[in-house]
Amino acid sequence: MQTIMTVKELIEELKKYPPETRVVVDGYEGGYDDVASLKNASLVLDAYVVDWYGPHAEESSYQEWVSRDKDDSEWNMGRETVKSKIEETGGVVDAVILSSIHTRNY
C-alpha cells in the first residue's frame, strides 16, 4: 500500500535532522536535485492515464487539457494523457509541491 505523507508528518520527520541538513528530491533519470521552492497547489488525484507522468495533475493544467477542442491541433499531444472527466479521478485536494532547480525551469 502506498504511503501518503501530510505536511504534519513531513514536519515531524524533518525534526529528526539537524536544521542545516540539505533537502533533495529524486532526479529526473537518476541522482538527486536540490529543492529550489515550495508551492501550494490544488491537485487532481489520479488524473493521468499514461505511466511516464506522475499520477496527479495540477488542477489548472488538468482543466486546460480536458477543455481543449478535439479540432485543436495540439489535442493529440495532451488531452489523451488525462482522464476526460473529473468524476473518473480521485478528486481534488490541496497539496504542497517541492520543486527542484531543474523542474522549476520547465
The values of phi and psi at residue 24, to 5°, are -130, 165
According to the model, what pLDDT value does residue 30 have?
A: 87
**Model confidence pLDDT, tens digit, residues 53-76:** 889 999 998 988 888 766 666 655
Cell numbers for 6, please give them.
501530510
**Average pLDDT of the residues of the chain:** 85
Q: Which has more pLDDT, 57 or 3?
A: 57
Mean pLDDT of 36-55: 91
Band of residue 13 on the pLDDT scale cut at 50, 70, 90 = very high
**The pTM is what?**
0.76
Give domain limits for the chain. Answer: 25-104
Q: What integer pLDDT is reported at residue 39 of this predicted model? A: 93
DSSP string for 15-63: TTS-TT---EEE-SSSSEEEEEEEEEEEEETT-B-STTS-S-EEHHHHH
The number of beta carbons lying within 10 Å of the beta carbon of residue 89 is 20
